[in-house]
Structures are given as C-alpha cells and as structure tokens.
Structure 1
Amino acid sequence: MSSQQKALVLLKKQGSFELGSRSIPSPGAGQLLVKIQSAALNPVDYKIKDAGIFVTQYPAVLGSDVAGIVEEVGEGVENFGKGDRVLARGKFTSDFAAFQQYTLTDASFTAKIPASESFDSAATLPMGLDTAVVGLYGDQFGARITPPWEEGAGSHESKKPIVILGGSSSVGAYTIQLARLSGFYPIITTASPSNEELVKGYGATHFFDRKLSGKQLLAAISDVTDDPIKLVYDAISLPETQSVAWELLAENGTLVLTLPASVEENERKGRRVIQTFAGTDAAQNEELYSSSWAMVEKWLSDGTIKPNKYEVLPNGLEGIIGGLERMKLGQVSGTKLVAHPQETR
C-alpha cells in the first residue's frame, strides 16, 4: 500500500477545496485505519467552509460519515479485524475525516456493517443518528428521555406525543425512528408533501406540510391529539421553523434545536430550549455514545433503524464540491449525498 492518498483539502479558513494528496495515518491504541468506500455529506461541511467554524488547523480535510474496510487495527482493539466492513463517525480533525481515501476511526465510534446493507447506505448513519440520539436522550445536550435500550424505558414515553420538524432530513429521519423505539405516540412530523410516504416509512404516524404556520399546524395537531406537546425536535432549526416550534410547545415542554436558539428568553414560560451538540469529544456524551454505538450493528441487521435514502455523486472526491453547493442552495430533499473516494481520478 502506498504511503500517500488522495484527499479533498480545504486550504485555509473560509477558503476553497482542492484535490490533493496527504500521508496515510497509522492507527494508535484503540483506533482503526479504514479504507473509505463511501463518505456521506452533511450540512455542517459547507458551514465549516463558509463560516470557518469547528476546524482550527488548516489545510483541513472535512467529512463526518465513513463506511469502508478495515486495513489496520491499532493496539488494544479486540472487536474488529482486517477486512471487516464498517461504518464510523469521523471528527473535525484531518486524520479522522471522511473526504479522503483512508481515515482513522475510534473503535468506540465504529460498528460492523451487516450483510444486508451496502457501504453507501451505512455511510448515511453516523452523524445523523448521533445527533438524534443526543437530542433525545442526552442529559446536558438533549431532552433527557430514557434511552430505549435501558430496561423498562418504553413505559416512560408510551403514548406521549412528539413533533419532529423536518422529518425528511437525515437527523429528522433518525429522530422519527428513535421516537418510535421510545414508545412516543402520535409521532407527528413536517416535510415537503413529496416526502410524505418517506417519513411515514420511517415511523411517523401523522404528516403535515412544512409550509403550515405555527397556528395552522397547532390547529391540525389538535385534531390528532388532546395531549399537550411537551417535546418538539426541530431538525431544521432556522428562525422560521423555531417560530413554528414555539407555537406548538406547551408549558414546561422542551424544544430541541440543531442550531443556536432564536427564540427569546422572556417567551419561555417554563419551557426549556436545548441546542443539541453531538460532538464526539464531549465528555457529557461519552456514556450515551458507548451504549448507542453498541446497538448500531443490531439495529441495522434487524431493520430497527433504516438508513437514509441516498444518491451517489460522480467523480469521487471531486463530486463532493458540487454536492455541498447543491445542499447549500436547498436542492437536496429527503436524500443523503454519498461520494466514493476510491473512484477519484
């Protein structure tokens, strides 16, 4: 194996992407070296490029969703071997990023891909699922719901309503599925009408058009349930969706956001607003991730969690540039974009 690999490199803060080469890193204790077959794109990738957030060292390689084949196993790793098909969560550190041909992964943020799933489908999971997990179950960065893998968890949320804004997004899709596992009912979501069947396939029991105002949506939900809405997960979290969420949320309820809050403190009336943070290095998430990543292979194998729909981009790593631009312009709906680094020319 060559010591060099192709990578899509962000040359400087708020700079441009360029196809280049960099050294293939070696795994340390508790780590794996993975030959990346599929790398999925996330909105945070173009936000890092445009706003210069999260990444501190340049040139930088981005990308958080990895699926590939284990090439080397670091010291102390017992559950993985060379040749295993795996999915993994990347980091905002170049050696652990997805937009290259080889990457390091932490064994604790890696799971085997069952035979029923492809590299492409598996690559849609890591960041979206992690964000849904922390937003629902996190103690500091979430709604503090008892996770479904804990004994007797279902009884805590059984027959309580939940509203998920943006159900066809990657985070929204996994939040719907986890809400189903946690026993919520009804599971109410918003999306474009073209994605109604998609979100119902994930487990949403009721669908409404994302263009409804807060008052219109509240009126429609009142025909579905008489119970107060104590939990809203806004997977989009733009000011306009936060405004809708605020209209829906009952007193003493919790609003989970993926972006900073734009609602006013003095409007809260006992309501809790949480900006979730799915950082892999956040100590507050460590125990939660340890439990959730241990479930990923089983969830995929038995169909408990369905991956996102996906579209494969052409031209390997170079295709990522156009894919991120499409995402930024709002031209991608209900679909995860996936690149094949090994097809880079």
Structure 2
Amino acid sequence: MSPQQKALVIPKKQGNFELSSRSIPSPGAGQLLVKIQSAALNPVDYKIRDAGLFVTHYPAVVGTDIAGIVEELGEGVVNFRKGDRVLAHGKFTNDFAGFQQYTLTDASFSAKIPSSESFDSAATVPLGLDTALVGLYGDQLGAGITPPWTESVGESKTPIVILGGSSSVGSYKLVKDYGATHFFDRNLSGKQLLAAISKVTDAPIELVYDAISLPETQSVAWELLANNGTLVLTLPASVKEDEGKGRKVIQTFASPHAPQNNELCQSSWAMVEKWLSEGTIRPNKYEVLPNGLEGVIGGLERMKLGQVSGTKLVAHPQETQ
C-alpha cells in the first residue's frame, strides 16, 4: 500500500470540502515530489466547488499556489535537488494540487525560493504572477506585449490602466514601488475615471487589464478603452466586442500547463528565483490560517463573502490534525 497523506477534498460535484486521505504520488519524468509547507488560497478554489468548473473527477483536490521542500526528483530533472525549497504553480489534477501534504510539480513551472523569502511569502506568488504575465504578454490568451525579459525593450510611453490594484493579480502590476505612476479612486464611474486619467495623459488608453472583472468593473473598463483597444479580463466577458470601434476582449487563462502558455511561462519561471532575489517581483501580504488544511474551508468562505482584500490567505498542510 502506498504511503498516505492528508488532503482536503471536494467529495462530489458541488459538495462541501472535507478532510480525507489519499496516496502520496511518485514523480514522473520532469517532475518533483514536494512536501507542501504553505499553500495559498485563491477565489478560483471556491468557484470550482460552487460551479463545478475545471474538475471532472471526484473526489477532487484543488489549490494552485504551492511552496515546500523537494522530497524526490523525477527522471531528467537536473536543476533541483532533494531538500530544495521551491514554489510552484499547480494544476487542476489531484496529484498536482495544493490542498494536501504532498504534491507533484512540473519542474518547468517550479523555482527555488531565495533565502530572503519564507514558504508563506513564496506561496502567494505563482497564480497571481502567471495571471498578470499571461494577461499582458500572452500571444493567444493575453494582450501580446513583448515580454521585457526576453529581449531588449525600450521604455514604453503607452499607458496601461489596471483595475483592481488590491487584488493579488493587480498587486503585481499596480504597486507604486514597481513603477506605477498614478492611482485613482476605485469608486469613480467610467466617465469620471476617464476625465481623471485625461489630466495626466492625453494618449489613448489602448490596453485595460481588469483584474477584478465583475460586470461593474468591465463596464468602467469599456468606457475607458480607446478604439481598437484591448480589454484583458480574468473572468468571462459581460461586455460585447464592437466591430465599429474595433475593440476586443480577451479572457486570460493563466495556467502555465495550457499549451498556449507553455513557451511564455517556461521563460518566465526560469527567472522567478532571480526576480524574487532582486525584488523585481514581491510576494503579496499574507495571513496564515490556523488548523492546517481545515483552515482552508473558513478561509475560502471569507473570500467568497468579500472579507479579504489586498492579502493572500495561506494554510500549512503539515499542521493538519
């Protein structure tokens, strides 16, 4: 019998989360087995449960933000060693999910955690970072901007508007220390926001990244967007593309495991350790939940009720009783 671990599972479609046990998987070629020390929560985790999205087999384990210790290496892995501290972007497959004590990760979408970061801080990075990167730089699932780390790119004077700066995704693009130049009140209407923006730039707004993507924020984004501009969303569109003005809408999907994102995300994940070490990217603020995996249940409920803002909730699977 395979060694067992504790896991938080959705037992059936739209069922309630519950603690269970399952076998610890073994890594295949190009994979790592990671003992999870910290797993961060995301809204998609409760949306999968509520709507039955992305998951087809039950009981299901979810969770995509992972940080832990390499326990075992699969064939062909040369850039990691047993005992390395790593962060990784999981996927919607039980053996690769975060709400359990051990998981497999794809070495291409894993990175060493620099000594300056903890497991908790590192766990806040993967999904938010990839959603920001794919939304901006993805050719098919994003705005198609040339990634600045892949070639020498001059400073752009083209304004980009980010809606939702306190979201985890928005935090990677709208923190003043990172180079954001202007901030605006989230409660302004589309017309008021456009008037405020026009005071600081007369350039047309050709790209809006709506990191919240609720109908009301999409409506504001649509009013801001210039002819032939692009609106990037993290949720399905409630606005309709208009042929007359040539504006288009892209719903990004940030999984590095999606074929459309493989090349981009392999190049970015190769840089994650360096970016974290140098402070080019910075983890989110976080709050540690009590009671290991059991704490995830209450944490997701708080997120669903809108009681969490500007902070990632993090659980410690090894503390599960």
- In the superposition, the TM-score normalised over structure 2's length comes to 0.97
The structural deviation recorded for 1:273 is: 1.0
1:228 equivalent to 2:204? Answer: yes
2:217 maps to 241
2:77 maps to 77
AA aligned to 2:206 is K
Q: Is the 8 A contact 1:202 1:306 kept in 2?
A: no
For 1:104, what is the secondary structure of its paired residue?
strand
1:132 equivalent to 2:108? Answer: no
Q: Aligned equivalents of 1:212 and 1:11: distance in 2?
A: 43
Identity in percent = 83
AA aligned to 1:9 is V
Q: Superposed, which structure 2 residues align to 1:1-345 within 5 Å?
A: 3-155=3-155, 158-176=156-174, 199-266=175-242, 269-345=245-321
Q: Aligned equivalents of 1:313 and 1:281: distance in 2?
A: 28
The structural deviation recorded for 1:153 is: 2.0
The number of residues matched between the two structures is 320
For 2:173, what is the secondary structure of its paired residue?
helix
Q: Is the 8 A contact 1:253 1:272 kept in 2?
A: yes
For 1:39, what is the secondary structure of its paired residue?
strand
Structure 2, unaligned stretches of length 5 or more? none
Q: Is the 8 A contact 2:241 2:247 kept in 1?
A: no
Distance 1:41 1:166, change over 3 A: same
Q: Aligned equivalents of 2:154 and 2:106: distance in 1?
A: 30
**CA deviation profile, 1:203-247 (whole Å, cap 9, x unmatched):** 322111111110111111111111111110000000000000001
For 1:163, what is the secondary structure of its paired residue?
strand
Q: Aligned equivalents of 1:142 and 1:282: distance in 2?
A: 13
Structure 1 or 2: larger helix share?
A: 1
Structure 1, unaligned stretches of length 5 or more? 177-198
Q: Is the 8 A contact 1:173 1:202 kept in 2?
A: no
Q: Aligned equivalents of 1:55 and 1:45: distance in 2?
A: 11
Distance 1:251 1:298, change over 3 A: same
4+ residue segments displaced more than 3 Å: none
- In the superposition, the TM-score normalised over structure 1's length comes to 0.91
The structural deviation recorded for 1:281 is: 2.9
For 2:35, what is the secondary structure of its paired residue?
strand
